[in-house]
A and B are shown apart, each in its own frame.
Chain A
Amino acid sequence: MKKLILYITLIIGSIAFIYPFYWMVTASLVPENEIESLTLLPQSISLNSYIQMFEKIPIGRAFFNSIFVATMVTGGVLVLCSMVGYALSRLRFVGRNLIFYIIIFTMTLPFQITLIPNYIIMVKLGWIDTFLALIVPYLINAFAIIMFRQVFQTIPQDLIDAARIDGCGELRIIFQILWPNIVPSLVTVGIITFMATWNDVLWPLIVIRDENLMTMPQLVTLFAVGGRAESQLGVKLASATILAFPIIIAYLFFQKYFIQSMASTGMKE
């Protein structure tokens, strides 16, 4: 039956996408010398890899750093970019369209040009090895501005007029009146920004040298590439598992939102 073939394909596909993670988790839970022969079920369980990992690197600290940075950036983006998006969509002023075109244009600018100078700016400002370097450059996100502008354009003008009559200031209009009406967009931008910030590695590798300030992916990367794991595979995999863990948990619970968010970004192009 044709249907059978389709299901088999899907099942093989699903296995292909899930098994590697399963392997990673089990490999981190078995003793070092068993990893070579591991396929499906472990012969013995051992927490040794995790214990060693916690001893070697400040992974808890890095976790906190990542949470902090990602939250600050996401919060900042939601606030600041909705402000800009609102102004661009609902207010009339000179330069409105110009700014919009500039935003579009800079979206096409490859980051490779600005990478080195941005690093140097961090150096000159004295922000190297501070959270400022990780947070501030990411507070404005062209994509977020575009999304907010787009969604604000769909809000009926009466709503805003009514609020103005009530004496609300512009900021209050944005955050108290409009935000409740655009929750899906907020969620979309929020999830994407959080995920992107959480997973970002290149920039932290460049601006953060102090281990106590490193983000989680950065710390795990250096652990994997450097010599501190002392070639212990289980420990490296344990760190990778811990790194994946928070996002996977969030994903399992908020799957629908994740998928919807990413899908809608495509639609806007």
Chain B
Amino acid sequence: MKNNKLLPYLLVSPYLIHLMVFVAFPVLFSIFLTFNKWNIISPMEFIGFGNFLRVFQDVLFFKAIYNTLKFLIVHIPLQIIVALLLAEILNQKIKFRPFFRAAFFLPVVVSGVVVSMLWQQLYGFDTGILNRMLTTLGFGKVGWLVDPNMAMVSIAVMATWKNVGLYVILFLVGLQTVPPQYYEAADLEGANHWQKFWHITLPMINPTIFMVVILSTIGGFSLFIEPYIMTGGGPLNSTLSAVLYIYKQAFTNYHMGYSATLGFFFAFIILFVVIIQKRFIEKGES
């Protein structure tokens, strides 16, 4: 009988241990680190608010935040539009639906590393397929990854290509929950497809849209491997994402205290954005 009292705690213990070691302690340690200067092999040096002051002077960090936001602003709407479009089409009476679904979903399972390397070549200025296509059609070449204004947009497009399959599936599920009676009723009133879509479909799948936005946002904030492989943060730091910058500060320059501080600031910004999104979309719902 004593067994029974302890048992639940035993079962839950893996989680609690994990929580302490890999979540709670790191957060506390992170706070502690922000007040210190440390490069791992030398002893730690207490510097009070030194790191905070440095963050406020850090032009590159703000550029990294700006870049990440720019990425999201391009990526999320594009993703929603394309995913919705494809899902809507697939929702019609289409043959070979499994094939199309599988095709769209393929990039989702493949590693981001593969996708980045692949698209780095597709975007190549001289030899990439995209520019070769453009020149054969008579247009000029585009500096997909070498034009500072274009580079982040190119990465956002690629990220959409990679993830849209997942959201097509999610939207499909959402679309299929809309009761057909609504559409039938609208048909009786003589509504065309567009009106049906705007007034019935969209409101009904609002929860799905919300979920897509949140998932894409959180995913977008962790943007790292794509710029790391494709551009190294360039050109002119236009693709330097926040995580990439933190990584560089920690593992190229070994400023552990400073990068922990950056991590903190960045986490707050993420929470802030997510809260705003929640408010915004919930308002839209009502």
The answer to whether A225 touches B229, judged by C-beta atoms less than 8 angstroms apart, is: yes
The answer to whether A113 touches B271, judged by C-beta atoms less than 8 angstroms apart, is: no
Which A residues lie within 8 Å of B225 (CB)? 201-202, 221
B 1-32 to A, binary, CB cutoff 8 A, 1 in contact else 0: 00001011101101110110111011101100
One of A15-23, A47-55, A176-184 at the interface? A15-23
The answer to whether A112 touches B170, judged by C-beta atoms less than 8 angstroms apart, is: no
Interface assignment of A157: CB less than 8 Å from any CB of chain B? no
Which A residues lie within 8 Å of B80 (CB)? none
Interface assignment of A72: CB less than 8 Å from any CB of chain B? no
Task: Known contacts A139-B14, A199-B111, A240-B118; decide if A18 and B106 are in contact (CB<8 Å).
Answer: yes
The answer to whether A263 touches B170, judged by C-beta atoms less than 8 angstroms apart, is: yes
Bound state CA distance, A116 and B247, in angstroms?
A: 9
Interface assignment of A35: CB less than 8 Å from any CB of chain B? yes
The answer to whether A118 touches B22, judged by C-beta atoms less than 8 angstroms apart, is: yes
Interface assignment of B260: CB less than 8 Å from any CB of chain A? yes
The answer to whether A262 touches B166, judged by C-beta atoms less than 8 angstroms apart, is: yes
The answer to whether B113 touches A27, judged by C-beta atoms less than 8 angstroms apart, is: no
Which A residues lie within 8 Å of B98 (CB)? 255
The answer to whether B161 touches A121, judged by C-beta atoms less than 8 angstroms apart, is: no
The answer to whether A39 touches B129, judged by C-beta atoms less than 8 angstroms apart, is: yes
A 91-126 to B, binary, CB cutoff 8 A, 1 in contact else 0: 111001001001100101111111111111101000
The answer to whether A123 touches B40, judged by C-beta atoms less than 8 angstroms apart, is: yes
Residue among B86, B90, B114, B165 with the highest chain A CB neighbour number at 10 A: B114
Interface assignment of B78: CB less than 8 Å from any CB of chain A? no
Distance (Å) between the CB of B54 and the closest chain A CB? 16
Interface assignment of B277: CB less than 8 Å from any CB of chain A? no
The answer to whether A243 touches B23, judged by C-beta atoms less than 8 angstroms apart, is: no
One of B45-53, B119-127, B148-156, B182-190 at the interface? B119-127
The answer to whether B100 touches A13, judged by C-beta atoms less than 8 angstroms apart, is: yes
- Count contacts between A and B, CB distance < 8 Å: 235
Which B residues lie within 8 Å of A248 (CB)? 106, 109-110
CB within 8 Å of A: which B203-224 residues: 208, 211, 214-215, 218, 221-222, 224
Interface assignment of B104: CB less than 8 Å from any CB of chain A? yes
Which A residues lie within 8 Å of B11 (CB)? 83-84, 86-87, 91, 170
Interface assignment of A266: CB less than 8 Å from any CB of chain B? yes
Which B residues lie within 8 Å of A21 (CB)? 106, 110, 118
CB within 8 Å of B: which A11-56 residues: 13-14, 16-18, 20-21, 23-24, 27, 35-36, 39
Distance (Å) between the CB of A264 and the closest chain B CB? 9
Nearest A residue to B166, CB-CB: A262
In the complex, which of the residues B19, B126, B221 contacts A110, with contact meaning CB atoms closer than 8 Å? B221
Interface assignment of A132: CB less than 8 Å from any CB of chain B? no
Interface assignment of B103: CB less than 8 Å from any CB of chain A? yes
Which A residues lie within 8 Å of B81 (CB)? none
The answer to whether B229 touches A14, judged by C-beta atoms less than 8 angstroms apart, is: no
Distance (Å) between the CB of B212 and the closest chain A CB? 8
One of B55-63, B69-77, B137-145, B262-270 at the interface? B262-270
Which A residues lie within 8 Å of B8 (CB)? 87, 91-93, 96
Interface assignment of B79: CB less than 8 Å from any CB of chain A? no
The answer to whether A115 touches B263, judged by C-beta atoms less than 8 angstroms apart, is: yes
Bound state CA distance, A99 and B222, in angstroms?
A: 27
Which B residues lie within 8 Å of A206 (CB)? 247, 251
The answer to whether B117 touches A236, judged by C-beta atoms less than 8 angstroms apart, is: yes
Q: Can you pick out 14 interface pairs between chain A and chain B where the beta carbons lie within 8 Å of each other?
A: A10-B89, A16-B161, A17-B107, A39-B132, A84-B11, A84-B12, A106-B19, A115-B250, A201-B113, A217-B111, A243-B111, A262-B105, A267-B173, A269-B211
- B residues at A contact (CB < 8 Å): 5, 7-9, 11-12, 14-16, 18-19, 21-23, 25-27, 29-30, 33, 40, 85-86, 89-90, 92, 94, 98-114, 116-119, 121-122, 126-127, 129, 132, 161, 165-166, 169-170, 172-173, 208, 211, 214-215, 218, 221-222, 224-225, 228-229, 232, 242-243, 246-247, 250-251, 256, 259-260, 263-264, 266-267, 270-271, 274
- A residues at B contact (CB < 8 Å): 6-7, 9-10, 13-14, 16-18, 20-21, 23-24, 27, 35-36, 39, 80-81, 83-84, 86-88, 91-93, 96, 99, 102-103, 106, 108-121, 123, 137, 139-140, 145, 170, 195, 198-199, 201-202, 205-206, 217, 220-221, 224-225, 233, 236-237, 240-241, 243-244, 247-248, 251, 255, 258-259, 262-263, 266-267, 269
